[in-house]
A and B are shown apart, each in its own frame.
Chain A
Amino acid sequence: MRTLKLSSLLLLGLLPLASHAHKTWLLPSATVVTVDQWVTVDAAVSNNLFYFDHVPLRIDTLEITAPDGSTVKPENVGAGKYRNTFDVHLAQNGTYRIAVKNIGLSAFYEENGQRKRWRGTPESFAKEVPADAANLQVSESVGRIETFVTAGKPTTTAFKLTNRGLELVPVTHPNDLYADEEATFAFVLDGKPAANLPVTIVPGGTRYRDSQNEIEVTTDADGRFSITWPAPGMYWLEARLEDSKTSIPQAKQRRVNYVATFEVLPQ
């Protein structure tokens, strides 16, 4: 009993570490389609892009925004050993945003000499974590993992900002990307331009080459960055930062993360 508890605690303790080392992603079966078609999406956490070699990405907080701003339910949801999958019916003309949002607090503390770990929301924190908890360490995370799919003509209504965490603003539309052409995007942090933010872009297909071939760029004063796509294919993009803009005073640190999958088409 005791060993079991210990091992599960160890496992939990390792989780945040694991999420740093691995790549999270949503991979759509197509990004440019005609209206009334379907796409199927894989959700996974892996070392290699885009292969299912580690664990599925949880999709409890999946949010699919239709071109008209409404929320669409995923269909045929499946849970696998290495990936979760779901289908999206593209009934409307325009761009759909498919996003997994991870917003929450995590805490470590001691109660009666026992080390405890807690996860929850700012609302549940006061109720569930004892006010006199010893050695309390609280951190907040705001993460977004997304991809975009367009039926017909690309639109931008689904990009409505939530003004929380890192969000991508399309200058070039993410479903209008072509090899050898330059694309420009902007990042906002809590709705304001995210200047000087490092952004990492990795082309898919890493299993069949010896290096990651990362492309590193940094946003300018307006939060903008540009990239010229070296070849057609699927690309993984990540930006992350840490700050102290937490929603409760007990949390000293906030981790903000953004991941997106883009498809770059041949000319």
Chain B
Amino acid sequence: MRRSVFKSSSLITVILAALAAAPASAGELAVRVQIPRIDVAEYHRPYVAIWIENPDQSIASHLAVWYQTDPKKEDGTQWLKDLRQWWRRGGRELTVPIDGVTGATRPVGEHRIVFKSDSPQLAKLAPGKYGLVVEAVREVGGREIVKIPFEWPSASKQVLTSSGKTELGTITLELLP
């Protein structure tokens, strides 16, 4: 009894997923970011910036910036420059917070962010070659960048992965046509 209910609900999920993927405008870009557990005496959650870069490394779209936003603590914006590559490529031209982009730091574990093709982050993205960039920097820790090249929009469903060695775990880019 229990099993059959489970079965039918998963069938519905499959149907819904198929329906969602059907229209041409329903393209989707999802990023999964693993923040690894790091065994150190003083651990602070990393600052993370996730963006889409053009072939010339300029920023095509800011997807997410996670930093210390707690108003009870010291002003967390002062360390945004430590996301060195993001800061250089365009972070320094922004005023934070940015609705739908900036947010609080995340704990150890896997985090998934999803954007529809008509979202503000993707709507202005012309068809072409891009790179997904994930940069992480940790207070009294290290800094790391992981890049995944991709084409947008994607003709088929794609799952692209790359891994960091120190500050980042597996980064997964899921593209739906």
Quick one: CB contact mask for A56-68 with B, threshold 8 Å, 1 for yes? 0000000000000
Please pick, from A33, A153, A176, the residue contacting B78 in the complex, using a CB distance under 8 A.
A33
Quick one: CB contact mask for A233-267 with B, threshold 8 Å, 1 for yes? 00000000000000000000000000000000111
- Which secondary structure characterizes the binding site on chain A? loop
State whether B77 touches A267 (Cβ < 8 A): no
- Judged by a CB distance under 8 angstroms, whether A37 is at the interface is yes
Highest count of chain A CB atoms <10 Å: which of B81, B87, B93: B81
- Judged by a CB distance under 8 angstroms, whether A32 is at the interface is yes
State whether A32 touches B81 (Cβ < 8 A): yes
Please pick, from A37, A152, A265, A267, the residue contacting B92 in the complex, using a CB distance under 8 A.
A152
- Nearest A residue to B93, CB-CB: A153
- CB neighbours (8 Å) of A33 from chain B are 78, 81
Q: Which parts of B79-113 form the interface with A (CB within 8 Å)?
A: 80-81, 84-85, 87-88, 92-93
State whether A34 touches B78 (Cβ < 8 A): yes
- Residues of B in contact (CB 8 Å), total 10
- B173 nearest CB across to chain A (Å): 22
Quick one: CB contact mask for A143-177 with B, threshold 8 Å, 1 for yes? 00000000011100000000000000000000010
- A52 nearest CB across to chain B (Å): 27
- Residues of A in contact (CB 8 Å), total 12
- CB neighbours (8 Å) of A34 from chain B are 77-78, 80-81
- Which secondary structure characterizes the binding site on chain B? helix
- CB neighbours (8 Å) of B77 from chain A are 34
- A246 nearest CB across to chain B (Å): 43
State whether A176 touches B88 (Cβ < 8 A): yes
- B143 nearest CB across to chain A (Å): 9
- Nearest A residue to B87, CB-CB: A32
State whether A267 touches B87 (Cβ < 8 A): no
- Nearest B residue to A34, CB-CB: B78
- CB neighbours (8 Å) of B85 from chain A are 267
With A33-B78, A34-B78 as known contacts, state yes or no: A153 contacts B92, CB within 8 Å. yes
- CB neighbours (8 Å) of A152 from chain B are 92-93
Highest count of chain B CB atoms <10 Å: which of A32, A34, A153, A154: A34
- Nearest B residue to A37, CB-CB: B78
- CB neighbours (8 Å) of B78 from chain A are 33-34, 37
A-B pairs, 3 with minimum CB distance? A153-B93, A34-B78, A153-B92
User: Which residues of B are in contact with A by a Cβ distance under 8 Å?
Assistant: 77-78, 80-81, 84-85, 87-88, 92-93
User: Which residues of A are in contact with B by a Cβ distance under 8 Å?
Assistant: 32-34, 37, 152-154, 176, 178, 265-267
User: What 5 additional pairs, Cβ within 8 angstroms, besides A32-B92, A265-B84, A266-B84?
Assistant: A34-B78, A34-B81, A154-B92, A176-B88, A178-B88
